[in-house]
Amino acid sequence: MPAPEYVEHLMAWVQSNIDNESMFPSKIGVPFPKSFPALIRQLFKRLYRVYAHIYCHHYPVIVQLGLEPHLNTSFKHYVLFIDEHGLASGKDFWGPLGELVDSMLKNSKPPIALYGLDGTYASALYTASVKSSSLEPVSKSLAALSEVFKKDPKLPKILTAPTLSPSDKSQIIAELQRHTGAQDKSSTVKNFLDTLAENNRLGILEGVCEKFQQLMGAARGELDLVITSAQVCSGSRMDTGRQLTCNFKELDRKTIQRLETAIAKSEYSQGKKLKVLSKIDADIKGGLIVEVGERTIDLSVSAKIVKMNKLLTDQL
């Protein structure tokens, strides 16, 4: 049977099953037949033959027409749906498109494992972004939200307020969306914010933004280099009668570049591109804390004080 004729018969057969109330009941309370799972698997298996035929025999024409993004997106949704509901049967289900399917399934999973509630939500958002082919726009949207948190230190307290009403949450989400701009065309970020609000988890949004950037860095083959320094103080000593004033000021660019170069040449970089982030934490008293991936080099004054206190305690 010629391929066009087969496709026409197949589509008519699929439509007839969907229209069959005994197989696809549309009324509430009417149970699905026991043969429903087997029918669904058969439907998807036969529809796969259409995708396989197009990719194997007509893909050059699809490319010439500029339609490959539409074909790839359609097939990816098909693959992810089958994977989500376990509809593939047998080791050779995917046949000639096995490698393409493997790459689609592999790329939808977060590149690294994250922990904590914000890490769990960030991983879920990453997977949803891949499935909707909106990973880069979502990343840009969350980066924009991170800037909002930096500019408005009161925002975390507002998001964690237990008295927020549904109306308050809707207004907050609308305001946050204003900062993401027109990048969220797939509504992935909006849906995610709605989910956080519904689950009373808006308070973890800042952490989700940070964790999501970690996932993006890992996906790009980058390694986070976090350099934490203390406050920069100016003025005279306290015993002179003048009060010492401390200003929040990050390390100068030259010092950061020297640290980045040194880490890049060491085994800590693992040969990956470094993504540098400079932070300030007054609690470390002085010195530096350098975090490279999962490794931490603690050169802070606070760490030295802890070691000294422990040494004195042990001796006493």
Residues 239, 255, single domain; the answer is yes
DSSP strand pairing (222-229 vs 273-280)? parallel
DSSP string covering the chain: --HHHHHHHHHHHHHHHHT-TTTS--STTPPPPTTHHHHHHHHHHHHHHHHHHIIIIIHHHHHHTT-HHHHHHHHHHHHHHHHHHT---STTSSGGGHHHHHHHHHHTS-SS---HHHHHHHHHHHHHHHHTT-HHHHHHHHHHHHHHHHH-TTHHHHHT-TT--HHHHHHHHHHHHHHHGGG-TT-HHHHHHHHHHHTT-GGGHHHHHHHHHHHHHHHTTEEEEEEEE--EEES--GGGTPPPEEE--PPPHHHHHHHHHHHHHSGGGTTPEEEEEEEE-GGG-SEEEEEETTEEEEEEHHHHHHHHHHHHHHH-
Domain with 163 in it: what CATH number? 1.10.520
- Identify whether 145 is part of a domain: yes
Asked which of 218, 239, 273 is the last residue of a domain, the reply is: 218
pLDDT digits (tens, 9 = 90+) for 253-283: 888 888 888 888 887 777 777 777 777 777 8
pLDDT at 238 (0 to 100): 45
pLDDT digits (tens, 9 = 90+) for 195-253: 999 999 999 999 999 999 889 888 888 777 788 887 555 554 444 455 545 554 566 78
Residues 7, 84, single domain; the answer is yes
pLDDT digits (tens, 9 = 90+) for 113-138: 888 999 999 999 998 888 778 888 99
End-to-end CA distance of the chain: 92
| Structure-block tokens of residue 290 | 């350098």
- Identify whether 8 is part of a domain: yes
Rounded to two decimals, the pTM is: 0.53
> Taking 50 as the threshold, does the pLDDT of residue 292 lie above it?
yes
pLDDT digits (tens, 9 = 90+) for 167-199: 999 999 999 999 887 777 888 999 999 999 999
Residues 15, 78, single domain; the answer is yes
pLDDT at 316 (0 to 100): 63
Residue 282 exposure: Cα atoms within 13 Å on the Cβ side:
8
Domain containing 72: what range? 3-107
Asked which of 107, 129, 163 is the last residue of a domain, the reply is: 107
| Structure-block tokens of residue 140 | 């840009």
pLDDT at 244 (0 to 100): 47
Compute the average pLDDT of residues 107-114.
79
Residues 239, 185, single domain; the answer is no
